[in-house]
Amino acid sequence: MSYPPPPLPPRYVWVPAPHAHRIRTSCGRVAVLLLTACPVLVPLLVLFGGHLPPVYPALGFFSWALTGTSVVMAVLTGAFLLAARRHVSAEHLDLHEVGKLRSGIVVAWAASLLLTVLAFSGLSLGASLAPLGSNARTISWPGVWTLMLLMATPFVLTSIALVTGRRLLALPDRPRS
């Protein structure tokens, strides 16, 4: 005796119109925040990068490359949130596409976390291996701390996108049988 297969979950789920509007507007606002913060962040990183202590060149480049890649992850999360707006109609949510975008946001957040930790490690290791000379005593420590905060900003931006995506694009509760 064979049983029929269980029904597949519906691809589209009904959501109330005010909630759909809130999803579209909130995703749009956060995406605009991310996509405008990243181009502003890059010149600030370059500006405060001149206040770095003399670091071992390979580790300094390593930290810059990782921070740049983390900025790209923040741009990707903004693009994912903008794309999520397309999959929310007046009263329906496309579960399949929104699920893929939520997964992309989680992956970008995890990559940003890893890249930020590695960038901080490279910067601190490079600063500890730097030769101590007359230039080492004239370091602007507020500038260095500001640079470190700016290096962590892409992770903060991806965290905002993660929280927004998890809160707004959550799968609906299903009754258990």
Could you list the mean pLDDT of each consecutive 10-residue stretch along the chain, which spans 177 residues? 64 81 90 92 77 62 83 93 87 82 93 91 72 54 74 93 86 52
pTM for this predicted structure: 0.80
Measured at the CA of 157, the angle between CA 154 and CA 158, to 5 degrees, comes to 90
The whole-angstrom separation of Cα 156 and Cα 148 is 13
CB-based burial label for 68 (10 Å; 0-12, 13-18, 19+): middle
Residue 19 lies in a domain: no
Residue 174 lies in a domain: no
Measured at the CA of 156, the angle between CA 52 and CA 57, to 5 degrees, comes to 25
Residue 20 lies in a domain: no
Q: Which two tokens stand for residue 145?
A: 């701390």
b/e string for 103-130 if b means 16 or more Cβ within 10 A?
ebbbebbebbbebbebbbebbeebbeeb
Residue 4 lies in a domain: no
The parent domain of residue 121 ranges over 35-129+140-168
Beta strands in the chain (DSSP E): 12-14, 92-94
Three-state secondary structure call for residue 14: strand
Residue 1 lies in a domain: no
Q: Calculate the alpha carbon distances from 163 to 15, 77, 83, 172 in Å.
A: 20, 11, 16, 17
Task: Give the per-residue pLDDT at 37.
Answer: 92
Task: Give the per-residue pLDDT at 89.
Answer: 81
Closest CA to 53 of 133, 161, 164, 172: 133
Task: Give the per-residue pLDDT at 32.
Answer: 94
Task: Give the per-residue pLDDT at 141.
Answer: 65
β-sheet bridge partners, residue 14 = 92
Number of domains in the chain: 1
The whole-angstrom separation of Cα 93 and Cα 14 is 6
Task: Give the per-residue pLDDT at 65.
Answer: 83
Residue 17 lies in a domain: no
